[in-house]
Chains A and B, each alone.
Chain A
Amino acid sequence: MKKKMLYKIFAVLLVLGLLLGACAPAPAAEPVQDEPAPVEEAAPAEETEAEVEEEAEEATMEPVTFQVFYPVAVDAPIAAILNGYIEDFQAEYPYITVEPVFSGGYADVQTAIQTTIDGGGEPPALGVMLATALYDLINADYIAPLDGYIAAMEDGDAFEADFLPAFLANSYYDDQLWSIPFQRSAVVMYYNADMFADAGLELPTSWQSWAEAAQALTVQDGDSINYGLHFSSDWPYWLFQPLAIGAGQNILEDDCTVVFDDPAVIEAVQFYIDLSAVYGAMPAGVQASWATDPPDLASGATAMITHSSGSLAGLLDQADFELGVMPYPGKEEGTYASVPGGGNFYIMKGAAQEKQDAAWKFVEFISRPEYVADYSINTGYIAHRFSAYDTDAMLAYVAEVPQALDTRDALQYAGAELATQNLGQVRGIFHDYIQRAINGEMSAADAMAAAQVEADAALADFCP
């Protein structure tokens, strides 16, 4: 009897235990230990603005330690690179200690910070999160505006103006600056220039010539087909946006207004479908091929892929042919389109003021042109400041790898990345319906109309 009872209790505990494991997809970050930090002076804003005289103060500064949570989202040794920068920084600011915390992907960083704050802990002073997370982070009251710091700088305006505008677009809200670009990318089209040359094809300059080139480069290889173009749609909004922009209408206007049912957007959806249905240049239906596309291009299984500029370094490494990079061709002859992506620095409101101030010093430091250039060269992210392109290191690099300039130049055709209030839900709705259209469950027009209705409803609570 007793034994049975024990079994039952054990079973119940087992279930609960496993369940608990299941309910916590990401381990809750441990509450930040309080450093033996200086007694909280509740440093008022004026004090931070007095930073001009910081040089004089520095010698007597109290030691401060802050954490930075960062993701690794590309195939590059981000941790080693970042640790090197931190060493340089600490050599220049001996009273500041930076603790880098690698936290998985972008979603994991945000989850870790959320759970820390929700659990009543002190968040890290600095986090690298998606540029598009802006509204969710503001609404949840997690992040602090940065205008005070910019105003306190001697050359604050010049500092701000030096960032590529496309990358700063998702940093403003309510006339305030909330984030600083860090690891930024753009959607581009990579192509195997040798295949184009062998087939005697010109680079595409419009949807029409793009589709025809993809069709011409689709070849039957024994039992399997090597399609001319791989264009993944398992997480579709980002890679799709340049199609919509290329048709003349981005899918959003501002944080409260999405444009899904515009004829131009519907036409862009239809073009995606036609690449397979009319031109036979892609497999039919939703393509869950984000992860397999770069190796496919590198191995010659396809001639073109649409992907992140962040894959440039890996592709250059693997490809034994001449790799080309360009923005998407637009609908009309001679038009092009792209969209930015990637992560920014955010300073957390919940961290002690002196930690926030120290974090800003680090952001300023790592935004120096030589570090921006170095980070870009070593990771494949696009250098996000104009001045970085004038550094010797960058000039030497682009002489060798001109494609790095092509990714930057794609940005001149970029529209804003989808960033709205209630982003998770709005994006989810868009994904649902565009995938229905791509899979032929609904017409492009019906799907986008339905998406518009649901997205408007999802935004209603946020945008009175």
Chain B
Amino acid sequence: MNIKASRKRFKPLPYILIFPTAVFVALFTAWPVILSIYQSFFLQRMNIARFREPTFIGWGNYIDLFSDPYFIQVIKNTLLYIIGTVPISIVLGFLFALLVNRKVRGIGFFRLAVFHPMVLPMVSAATIWLFLFTPDYGLFNAALRFLGYSGPENWTGNPSLALLSVVIVAVWKNSGYYMVFYLAGLQNLPSDVYEAAALDGANGWQTLWKITFPLLRRTTIFITIVAFIDSFRTVDHIFVLTSGGPSRASTVLLFDLWLERFEYQDIGISAAITVVFVIVLLAFTVTNFITSERKEV
């Protein structure tokens, strides 16, 4: 009886400890999301006097969005951008980690070389790439020509290459960052497993595929989430390289959100885009964790 009673006694300490975080999350995370959901059901445009006060229009904003070919194109661009950046930069990060995880003299230099793009602010990185991409004297084209490339060279101005050029910059910038996580993971792997594998006569490929990769699964999950979210929220280089063009060929979801809210001053539509955003990211993260936790058992 005594024990039960003491268990039920209210302990305020945990609540006090969590209080600041809870307030912070409620204020800066939950509240804006709730507000966006609310606003997404209203017609409100700041630059038209008679639409400045919000009017309830139900699903109107969502219907407008998904019947607008531009928005469909933006969704397509976003998907292509994610497919282009996430897997490639993770695979590259993994390969770089394997390459620089050796005891060779001067390896620090190579680690630094792969990692340094991450230290640059995105805007500086994009500005450097502006010069690399120039059609007449750009180094990027010169390098490609050296490798036998003879295709179009106007990377940022060509509608079928503009999205690819922002993908290239993102991959260049991010893979070094992911490499660091993989490198940390690799260096924490237990050596006895490798010894056992060597005794059993496993070749390099088997060791990599059956031991290293599975052991790094947690790292991979973490990097996937970071990479996925990052691919949604990085637009700085798009501002610098293409301004979302030509003809919106490189406009992704967040860039479009900025356009609608601050260029077109359309609060309802931008709230609806925010809601789409939240749903996609939440769905991704929750799925990712549910599936990964299940395998753990």
Contact = CB atoms under 8 A, between A and B. Distances in A.
Interface in B234-287: 235, 240-243, 245-248, 254, 257-259, 262-265, 274, 277-278, 281-282, 284-286
Interface string A196-224: 00000000000000000000000000011
A422 B242 contact: no
Given A286-B158, A292-B130, A439 B136 contact: no
Given A22-B232, A22-B233, A438-B246, A17 B293 contact: no
B29 A13 contact: yes
Contacts of B284: 15
Which has the most chain A C-beta neighbours within 10 Å: B243, B245, B282?
B245
Nearest to A441: B159
Chain A at the B interface: mostly helix, strand, loop or mixed? helix
Nearest to B141: A224
A139 B47 contact: yes
Contacts of B142: 223-224
A13 B229 CA distance: 13
Contact of A292 (B32, B134, B296): B134
A366 to B, nearest CB: 27
B248 A432 contact: yes
A19 B246 contact: no
A18 B158 contact: no
A19 B257 CA distance: 13
Contacts of B25: 13, 16-17
Contacts of B286: 8, 11-12
Contact of B245 (A15, A110, A286): A286
B246 A225 contact: no
A298 to B, nearest CB: 13
Contacts of B33: 16
A136 B285 contact: no
A435 B28 contact: no
A289 B138 CA distance: 12
Contacts of A8: 286, 289-290, 293
Interface string A91-116: 00000000000000001001100100
B233 A21 contact: yes
Contact of B49 (A139, A288, A291, A292): A139
A228 B264 CA distance: 37
Nearest to A110: B262
Contacts of B285: 11-12, 14-15
Contacts of A328: none
B242 A23 contact: no
A435 B32 contact: no
Interface string B10-44: 00000000000000010011101100100000000
Interface footprint category on A: 35 or more
Contact of A234 (B32, B47, B157, B278): B157
Given A234-B243, A288-B156, A428-B263, 8 more contacts: A7-B289, A15-B281, A19-B277, A22-B277, A285-B157, A425-B263, A431-B245, A438-B246
B234 to A, nearest CB: 9
B247 A441 contact: yes
B154 A285 contact: yes
Contacts of B233: 18-19, 21-22
A402 interface: no
Nearest to B126: A291
Interface string A396-426: 0000000000000000000000000110110
Interface footprint category on B: 35 or more
B135 interface: yes
User: Closest 4 CB pairs between A and B?
Assistant: A424-B263, A22-B233, A286-B157, A288-B156
B3 interface: no
A140 B254 CA distance: 24
A38 interface: no
B149 interface: no
A292 B277 CA distance: 34
Given A139-B48, A428-B263, A16 B29 contact: yes
Interface string A446-464: 0000000000000001100
Contacts of B36: 23
B131 interface: yes
A148 interface: no
B47 A435 contact: no
21 contacts: A14-B229, A18-B233, A20-B29, A20-B32, A23-B277, A25-B235, A118-B46, A223-B145, A224-B142, A234-B242, A285-B152, A286-B246, A291-B240, A301-B136, A422-B47, A424-B259, A428-B259, A432-B245, A435-B245, A439-B247, A441-B159
Contacts of A139: 46-49, 52
Nearest to B153: A283
A109 B128 CA distance: 26
B127 interface: yes
A20 B134 contact: no
B137 interface: yes
Contacts of B127: 291
